[in-house]
């Protein structure tokens, strides 16, 4: 298989969303680590808060990176039900998903709030996986490009160059998440091209939205795609492996 990749190291990220008990999380990692994990790529698991400490132990010195799926921007205080950057750092979490479409659309997180969360990542040395993407209405009304450009510029406003160079950006069209509808290679290239113009060369740009073993190979040949953020297909270690292998 000839796969043309960009110069940035590919990253394959599993977003488990609100799935898995601790026993299931442990068995996923053990199964994944029982096969080859070539160091030509990076691997990341984004898990529920309750799983992170346990996963930190199971992951150990393996090449898997550990992410939370959300966090608040304050270090501590009267914010019932929230989790802070300090608490994530404390248990060895290195990455955080910020602005996933489910946070934006189900929980109403605004661009302004997400910017505060990204600034908090910068202050605490956590690497953000910053998600953005247009809804089907925005696409149908010709506003897809404008939407993602705004989400990016409002999100990264005030971040320093080093943070932006190291962060990960995931383009996830809302209409493709969990729907089985993947964006076409042309759509992904067009949107990634727009984002790339506003980002330094080193920032990794992932695609997410119904990535499966049967569509990942073609998407990975796109020069603008540095890897994937995978939801449903990353709940099973064998399927996740098929995507990166």
Stretch that binds ligand PGA, among 20-28, 159-167, 188-196, 229-237 (CB under 6 A): 229-237
Please identify, using beta-carbon distances, which residue of 16 and 73 lies nearer to ligand PGA: 16
Give the rounded distance of the alpha carbon of 27 from its chain centre: 22
> Could you tell me the two tokens for 90?
């404390």
How many other C-beta atoms lie within 10 A of the C-beta of residue 185? Answer: 16
Q: Which of residues 156-185 bind ligand PGA (CB under 6 A)?
A: 172, 177-178
Among this protein's residues, is 100 annotated catalytic?
Answer: yes
- Residue 66 has φ and ψ, to the nearest 5°, of -115, 130
Among this protein's residues, is 172 annotated catalytic?
Answer: yes
What is the contact mask toward ligand PGA in residues 107 to 126, using x (rule: CB under 6 A)? --------------------
Give SS3 for 241. helix
* Interatomic CA distance for residues 126 and 116, integer angstroms: 13
Taking the complex as a whole, the smallest distance from the CB of residue 86 to ligand PGA amounts, in Å, to 26
Stretch that binds ligand PGA, among 52-60, 70-78, 184-192, 227-235 (CB under 6 A): 227-235
| Among the listed residues 68, 75, 172, the one whose alpha carbon sits nearest the alpha carbon of residue 119 | 75
- Residues in contact with ligand PGA by CB under 6 A are 15, 172, 177-178, 208-211, 229-233
């Amino acid at each position: 298989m000839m796969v043309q990749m960009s110069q940035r190291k590919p990253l394959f990220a599993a977003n488990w969303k609100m799935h898995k008990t601790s026993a299931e999380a442990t068995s996923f990692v053990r199964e994944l680590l029982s096969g080859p994990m070539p160091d030509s790529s990076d691997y990341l698991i984004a898990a529920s808060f309750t799983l992170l400490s346990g996963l930190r132990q199971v992951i150990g010195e393996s090449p898997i990176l550990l992410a939370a799926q959300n966090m608040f921007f304050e270090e501590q205080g009267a914010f019932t039900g929230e989790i802070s950057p300090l608490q994530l750092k404390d248990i060895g979490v290195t990455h955080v998903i910020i602005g996933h479409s489910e946070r934006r659309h189900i929980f109403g997180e605004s661009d302004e709030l997400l910017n505060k969360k990204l600034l908090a990542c910068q202050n605490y040395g956590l690497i953000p996986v910053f998600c953005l993407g247009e809804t089907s209405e925005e696409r149908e009304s010709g506003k897809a490009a404008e939407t993602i450009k705004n989400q990016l510029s409002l999100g990264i406003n005030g971040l320093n160059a080093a943070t932006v160079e190291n962060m990960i950006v995931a383009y996830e069209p809302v209409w493709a998440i969990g729907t089985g509808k993947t964006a076409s290679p042309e759509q992904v290239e067009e949107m990634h091209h727009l984002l790339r113009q506003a980002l330094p060369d080193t920032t990794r740009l992932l695609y997410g939205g119904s990535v499966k073993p049967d569509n990942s190979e073609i998407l990975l040949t796109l020069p603008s795609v540095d890897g994937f953020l995978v939801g449903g297909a990353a709940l099973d270690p064998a399927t996740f492996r098929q995507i990166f292998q």
